[in-house]
């Protein structure tokens, strides 16, 4: 089996397993994933929000906030699991396209 095929199988498995990000933190009462805090959570954890973060926060809005489609946040675990899988597919597609484009640009410079 080619290494690329193994890579795609592995990525597919990770996409299918992505709803574990919903289930495990809830099961273990872990709260938000490390590093995925919003400004309100940072203020709660640290006691303040760094000025640089407060200034730069409006520059970025996630394409799929909370890994869910708009209006699906309250629909239950099955909808959220499906939204997690969609989010994973979109994220992997964007990542793969970026890597391919960067690879092509670097390959041309090497000629």
pLDDT number for residue 6: 92
* 18 exposure class (CB count in 10 Å sphere: 0-12, 13-18, 19+): buried
pLDDT number for residue 27: 81
Q: Print pLDDT tens along the chain (111 aa).
A: 898 899 889 989 988 888 887 788 778 887 777 777 888 888 988 999 999 988 988 888 777 777 777 787 778 888 888 888 888 898 889 998 999 999 999 888 766
Annotated domain spans of the chain: 3-32+64-110
Q: What are the residue ranges of helices labelled H in the chain?
A: 3-17, 20-27, 39-46, 51-56, 77-110
pLDDT number for residue 50: 92
pLDDT number for residue 101: 94
């Amino acid at each position: 089996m080619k290494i690329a095929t193994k890579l795609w199988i592995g990525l597919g498995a990770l996409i299918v397993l992505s709803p574990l990000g919903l289930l495990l933190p809830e099961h273990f009462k872990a709260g938000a994933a490390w590093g995925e805090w919003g400004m309100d959570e940072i203020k709660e954890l640290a006691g303040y929000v760094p000025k640089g973060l407060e200034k730069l926060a409006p520059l970025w809005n996630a394409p799929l906030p909370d890994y869910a489609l708009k209006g699906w946040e309250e629909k239950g675990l099955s909808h959220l699991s499906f939204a997690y899988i969609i989010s994973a597919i979109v994220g992997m597609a964007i990542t793969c396209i970026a890597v391919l484009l960067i690879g092509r640009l670097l390959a041309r410079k090497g000629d």
